[in-house]
Amino acid sequence: MSTDLKEALFGYTLRLGDTSLVLGHRLSEWCGHAPELEEDIALTNVALDLVGHARMLLTYAGELEGKGRDEDRLAYRRDVFDYRNHLLVEQPNRDFGHTIVRQFLHDAWAVELYERLCASTDTTLAGIAAKAVKEVRYHVRHSGDWLVRLGDGTDVSHAKVADALGRLWPYTGEMFERDEAEQALVAAGIVPDPADLKAAWTARVEAVLEDATLDRPADGWMQKGGRRGEHSEHLGYLLAEMQFLPRAYPDATW
């Protein structure tokens, strides 16, 4: 692999790893606070899967970078500006409906992405995707079913998820952004074309929104910046909590 391509793949893997890690951490904040025990367990199980994906992806990113950074170093020793996750996943949990909308918009993207990444010409990435896709298929069914239940539920639940959908929609455009580096990865058959991904994601999302009696928001202004390290104010607080221990006790080991 050429140096440029390797660097592009490092960036891609890091973005995907950071996105999984940040969303996994967000979901773990529900531990002990979910509206019912079953959902407490469900959200934290999904969190566990996502942190597992992040570990595989960040380990691989560290190998591609070749500077000796392992998964922990990447997760715990980078500040906000070095994180490359989607802005969508750092948005706070707010209420359960808001969490479900955020999760569904992400899951629908993740399942389409990993299904395509299974065919990547990069065997490591294909191996991670084959592992992750089985779990993500389960996640998208769970978040999709809840979205239908809440959207097609009471007036209150409908209003809450409709509000969340409007609030979160402007963060979805970023998932399909592509730059020159990513274009080279597409050309090499390493990653799928974001345009294909967007069409598949849109079809999946629209079908569930219809069942949920929710209107698809119009594509207006889209918030971007995650891939350049320009984040909302929420990520700093999340990292402060997640990174507290290794920052306070840098040499601590289990």
Residue nearer to another protein on the CB measure, 122 or 182: 122
Cα separation, 130 vs 116, in Å, equals 10
Residue nearer to another protein on the CB measure, 42 or 191: 42
Min dist CB 58 to another protein, Å, is 12
Min dist CB 12 to another protein, Å, is 18
**60-87 b/e with 16+ CB inside 10 Å = b?**
bbbebbeeebebeebbeebebeebbbbb
Cα separation, 191 vs 142, in Å, equals 26
Residue nearer to another protein on the CB measure, 127 or 173: 127
Min dist CB 91 to another protein, Å, is 22
Residue that the structure tokens 């959200």 belong to: 43
Min dist CB 120 to another protein, Å, is 12
Chain-centre distance for alpha carbon 167? 17
Write out the residues near another protein by the rule CB under 8 A: 24, 38, 41-42, 45-53, 55-56, 123, 126-128, 130-135, 137-138, 141-142
Angle between helix axes 155-168 and 96-117 (nearest 10 degrees) is 50
Min dist CB 213 to another protein, Å, is 21
Residue nearer to another protein on the CB measure, 41 or 199: 41
Residue nearer to another protein on the CB measure, 93 or 124: 124
Cα separation, 185 vs 196, in Å, equals 14
